[in-house]
Amino acid sequence: MKFLLTQVLFLLFLPSFLVLEAQVWVPTGTESRRASALQFDAGGSSFQKDYYGYFSPNFTYNHGNNFGYSFSLPINALAVDKEPLQIDSKAGKIREMDYNSKNDYSRVLNYISYGTYNQQIPGKVTYSAYTGKMVDGYIGHGTIVNKYQSSSRFDSYNPGVMADLNTDYVGVQYFANSVVNFEVNAARVYIKPLAIGKSILSLFDKSSDLVYLMNLRGNVLDESGRLSVEEEAGSEESKAKKTEETRKKEIRPYSKDSRMELVDNDPWYNRLTIGYTRAWDRAAPVQMSYNTNGSPVTEKNLDNPKTTQVTRASVEGMDIEYRLLNLPFVEFIPYLDVNKIKGLDGAQGTHYGSIFRLGTKDLNIILKPEFRQMTANYAPMYFDSFYEVERFQKFPISAPLRPKYDYLENQSNAKVTGYYHTIYVNFYHLGFEFAVEDYGLKGNKRVFAAAYIPLGSSFLMSFYYTKKGYESQGKAFELDNNTQAAAEISKSFGPIVLRLQNYRKYYLDSSEKSFISIDEIRFLVSGGISF
């Protein structure tokens, strides 16, 4: 893993004219829906010093621009088994952890998607629904649910859910970590009070009523079904103009933080948003079951450690933001989130943040500094990239297992201050993201780095790297059990694509009495037909 990440970083600076097929990470807000195709991935992989043959047929189909789905059937077949030998070891044996629980069979689902999440179009009702592989699940400003990865473990796969509905006045967002069992859920409801007030006042404004009635008259037929004289004269010209405007101004979310897409239609009364969020783990582990040797008892056909006590871990909060500036070259949005963990003594946190964009859609930098004041028993971004593991074992990882909720339950409510700062750099189709978190205490730092780099028309590379719970900045990029990452380099040769992939994820190792982070390296040949 360390070698591949080094090579990726080195290649960032190589001048090359080669298209990216990788999807291990894409800039937030980038459309990642695949083209309609029947494809295959075939090759070999290395995992825990054993070697596997890898094959995965893939089917993707899009019904227009809004609805699409993608399925695959990834299979790892044992080729070379090195010491220690697996039970019932033989060539061609399917890797046991891949399909030994009901959740694992959802690996066939890449995604089912309708609409675009977090899309707001003035004057229209927008909605979306997505279920599938998730690498950046979030709600609101991301102070409770942020960068959630539903597939951060080799031995367990959970296709997540994200859905929303947006209007000019109110909206709702929904998140779930798994469409199979819905263990972790979150919902946010927001209102735009100034827009609501403006609409109410317009009911009593005669001039507004007149304009409104004139607009109605221009959009209806008379009793005989005929257009008005004004409409008859300019209907064709008007239709052509509207079609051209629609083609030029397709309003899609540019970023989960920026509202650049609304620059041309963002009145002052539409900029204030107040939201309420509640997120919960309906069966958060509190106490674990152990064997006499101290190793965790594993639930049969579930790949999870067995629990002896669970509880409902619930986080709720209020948020407010106002877009002070939203111009073609500059944007500024201050926000405030106040959250608390229910059931824990005084566990609360306040997030003071802002979003600052400088530049256009094709070339810009977005800064998102966020300062935090909280109690020691509060966890910002409670549901994050590591939660699929952390619900059983807190970070930094150490044996034996200790659930996150149990750890926080035994902390004081002393005051803690810190920050979580993020920077995005977008240069046409290239995207970079970097974030760092620190509270000045032992073992509570976090780093995130990612890049999406298409070079020319046939060469692409992307990667992300994140680590949580390290003690000093000098250890931020040391690979250990607190690290999660992925990288891919791909090169097209006509209809064939060669791929080198490295995934660093977790799996439960009973012999080590904890989750461990390890690498899987794949070399693949991909091809197929588009339609």
- Residue 50 confidence class, pLDDT cut points 50, 70, 90: very high
Segment among 9-13, 313-317, 322-326, 448-452 with least mean pLDDT: 9-13
Q: Is the pLDDT of residue 195 over 90?
A: yes
Q: Is the pLDDT of residue 241 over 70?
A: no
Taking the mean position of all CA atoms in its chain, how far away is CA 403? 23
- Mean pLDDT value across residues 27-40: 72
Distance (Å, whole) CA 243 – CA 224 = 27
Distance (Å, whole) CA 458 – CA 134 = 26
On average, the pLDDT of the chain sits at 86
Q: Is the pLDDT of residue 215 over 70?
A: no
- Mean pLDDT value across residues 293-297: 81
Nearest to 448 by CA among 471, 473, 465, 429: 465
Burial of 195 per CB tally in 10 Å (0-12, 13-18, 19+): buried
- Mean pLDDT value across residues 235-258: 61
- The two most distant CA atoms of the chain are separated, in Å, by 88
Q: Is the pLDDT of residue 60 over 60?
A: yes
- Mean pLDDT value across residues 75-86: 92
Distance (Å, whole) CA 440 – CA 414 = 14
| 193-202 and 206-217 helices, crossing angle to 10° | 90
Distance (Å, whole) CA 314 – CA 298 = 25
pLDDT of residue 204: 85
Count of CB atoms within 10 A of residue 226's CB?
Answer: 10
pLDDT of residue 27: 55
pLDDT of residue 13: 33
- Mean pLDDT value across residues 166-188: 96
- Mean pLDDT value across residues 82-100: 89
- DSSP conformational letter for 377: T
Is residue 140 within 8 Å of 337, Cβ to Cβ?
yes
Q: Is the pLDDT of residue 236 over 80?
A: no
Q: Is the pLDDT of residue 31 over 80?
A: no
- Mean pLDDT value across residues 100-126: 91
Name the amino acid, one letter, at 66. Answer: N
More confident residue, 476 or 29: 476
Q: Say what percent of the chain tops pLDDT 90.
A: 63
pLDDT of residue 64: 85
Q: Say what percent of the chain tops pLDDT 70.
A: 85
**Domain-by-domain residue ranges, the chain?**
2-197+251-530
pLDDT of residue 244: 52
More confident residue, 324 or 398: 324
- Residue 262 confidence class, pLDDT cut points 50, 70, 90: confident
pLDDT of residue 243: 52
- Mean pLDDT value across residues 466-484: 93
Q: Is the pLDDT of residue 474 over 80?
A: yes
- DSSP conformational letter for 226: P
